[in-house]
Structure 1
Amino acid sequence: MFQNFGLKPAVRGGAVLGAGARRRRREFLDFVIDDRPLLSLFDGEDVVSALATDLPPRALSGEVDRLLLRGPSSLPDGRQVLYCCPECGDLGCGAITAMIIQQDDCIIWRDFRWQDSQDQELESYPGVGPFRFSADEYRNALEHAATQSW
């Protein structure tokens, strides 16, 4: 049985925090599973998806290719970054990652973790996933995202 997979525009609001500090506004595509934003399952983590819509087209296409398993993972353990720091996108700030595998006509997201650049798994999300998607639906949604002008 497959879950539905899609993408939906989302916004992390900007703000002035005081003492000259600012919280950056970021627009991104959130992953939607069975009509529910995946980010809603991570208890208010302040992150944005790797599909930030202000990325240059080539960088966005690279992120799509990575999620489609057409390119190498940015992590040495083969996990994929789903959500990252909204300010800088750097793994040093921490990221929500998952294992993404393909089995025949099925894409599986499993083993969700909070990781940082030290390759430390700081927290797991045992109540999240695994999710199984039709490979065709998954591919179509991501390829469509790569061709849009956001």
Structure 2
Amino acid sequence: MKTINYLETRLSSRYDEFDPDQDGNKNTQFADFIIDGRSLYQMLRKHDRVPSLGWGVEEHQRNMIDYFLLKRKHDYLYDRYPLLVCPWCGDEECGFISVYIEREDDRIIWQDFKIEPSNQGIDIGPFYFKWDNYEKEINRAFGTTGSQ
């Protein structure tokens, strides 16, 4: 049997208050994915991308939630979704980290993480979440930082 992971979403930011790198850089706030108590943002920080949930205009936030809840497919990624995006603008053209998401009964599976557009694999996951935990936390991410 596969280990079931526990997902939380939590307000976080690109830099902490004492980080000297925040000077002159955009300190984006976002809804971080916390998997079994560990920040996905921190696990992938070296790629300088931030989680795609919880920030941006309201329409964008709703689209992202619909993607993660598999209510609609991404326009060109199909069953892959932008998990971490550009911390300045969130635009996928700047490059992003994608994940393949599928649902099997009451489980959601995140696997096959890639740096886009180079299609380079990242050695992390897979993660398995119970649907009720997953749905609640993805929905909870809406408006984490307000509507911008």
- Measured against the shorter chain, the TM-score band is 0.7 to 0.9
Judged with a 3 Å threshold, the aligned counterparts in structure 2 of structure 1 residues 147 and 46 are, in CA distance, closer, same or farther, namely closer
| Structure 2 segments unaligned to the other structure (5+ residues) | 16-21
* More displaced stretch, 131-140 vs 70-79: 70-79
> Matched residues in 2 for 1:95 and 1:65: separation?
18
- Structure with larger RCO (C-alpha < 8 A, sep 6+): 2
> Matched residues in 2 for 1:46 and 1:148: separation?
20
Aligned to 2:122: 125
Provide, for residues 51-108 of structure 1, a one-character-per-residue CA deviation record: whole Å limited to 9, x for no partner: 143x222321211111111122143353100001111222222111010000000000
Judged with a 3 Å threshold, the aligned counterparts in structure 2 of structure 1 residues 107 and 58 are, in CA distance, closer, same or farther, namely same
What's the CA shift for 1:148?
Answer: 5.6
From 131, 134, 140, give the equivalent of 1:138: 134
What percentage of residue pairs aligned between the two structures are identical? 28
Count how many residue pairs are aligned between Structure 1 and Structure 2. Answer: 138
> Matched residues in 2 for 1:43 and 1:141: separation?
21
Residue type of the alignment partner of 2:137: A
Residue type of the alignment partner of 2:38: R
SS at match of 1:44: helix
The TM-score with structure 2 as length reference comes to: 0.84
2:52 aligned with 1:50: yes
Judged with a 3 Å threshold, the aligned counterparts in structure 2 of structure 1 residues 43 and 134 are, in CA distance, closer, same or farther, namely same
The TM-score with structure 1 as length reference comes to: 0.83
Contact 2:79 2:102 (C-alpha < 8 Å) held by counterparts: no
> Matched residues in 2 for 1:111 and 1:141: separation?
21
Greater strand proportion: 1
2:27 aligned with 1:30: no
Kindly report which structure 2 residues correspond to 1:1-150, keeping only aligned pairs within 5 A, or say none: 1-13=3-15, 14-16=22-24, 23-53=25-55, 55-116=56-117, 120-121=118-119, 123-126=120-123, 128-146=124-142, 150=146
Aligned to 2:19: none
Alignment RMSD = 1.8
